[in-house]
Amino acid sequence: MIRRYSFAKLLPGLLPVAGTLILAGCQNDSVPGLQSGADYFPLEVGRYRIYAVADTLWANYQRTPSSYQFRETITDQINDATGQPGYRIVRARRVLPTDAWRDDSVMFVAATDHALLLTRNNRRTVELVFPVRKDRVWNMNAFNSLDTVAAENRYYQNVGETFQSQFGGKTYSYNQTLTTALTEDNRNGQNNAVYRSTYDQVYAQGVGPVYRARRRYIYCADQDVGTSICGRSNTRIYRGQARVEVLIEQGKL
């Protein structure tokens, strides 16, 4: 079954945070083979991806939308602070397609035999685990302090499926994709009548990330919890952020 996501109908948001990266080491310097699933995030110097971004911030029930573009470019292959090899990714931002790109932040990606690790804003996360297998779970925050070491908060929701996204009247289709999402237990633990948090990423084989959506909503102020005005409703978000990114261009410099 083809899963379709209309960019225009999705809630935008989650303002980006620019940061300077402190590189962290990975545990294994070998590069996994394509059969493991590493080709869902190709690492090659000069490769770039451009995303259309829909962004919304809520404050005191007021909604402020914005839109812009991100470009992520693999600029060079380098060693991190521990001497382990990886790739530097520079993210740039512009509001209009006619604007000049302005560097926004830097990331570092390393692929081991078992996982793909991303360091951004001084925090390292486990983005993918190898080999790829539907319903496989892992701890995205195994290398940072956000969760306990034993937590299982991320899983492969779909593997090997066709995916379509839309932007500006154009449809972008991919034959082989996988989707990572919060585990059901993690969703249940974080989502209730007052709070909602979701984070989904779609990767296309031979391309990389093609769709990303992160939403964090608080539906009412602390003093209103338990009253009739406090309840889950996308039209009544007290405070929150949401951001949706759709890949619209890729290539090699």
Give the bridge partners for 88, in sequence order. 76, 108
pLDDT of residue 113: 86
DSSP annotation string for 28-76: --PPPPGGGTGGGS---TTEEEEEEEEEEEEETTEEEEEEEEEEEEEEE
- Identify whether the C-beta of residue 142 lies closer than 8 Å to the C-beta of residue 129: no
Q: Residues for the chain: how many in total?
A: 253
Digits of tens for pLDDT over the chain (253 positions)? Answer: 444 434 333 333 322 222 322 223 333 444 454 457 889 999 999 999 999 999 999 999 899 999 999 999 999 999 876 677 899 999 999 999 999 999 999 999 998 889 999 999 889 999 999 999 999 999 998 888 776 666 788 999 999 999 999 999 999 999 999 999 987 654 444 556 678 889 999 999 999 999 999 999 888 877 777 666 676 655 678 899 999 999 999 999 8
162: left (phi over 0), alpha (psi -120 to 50) or beta: beta
Does residue 209 sit in helix, strand or coil?
Answer: strand
How many structural domains is the chain composed of? 1
**Residue 226 sits in which domain range?**
3-252
Supply the pTM of this predicted model: 0.81
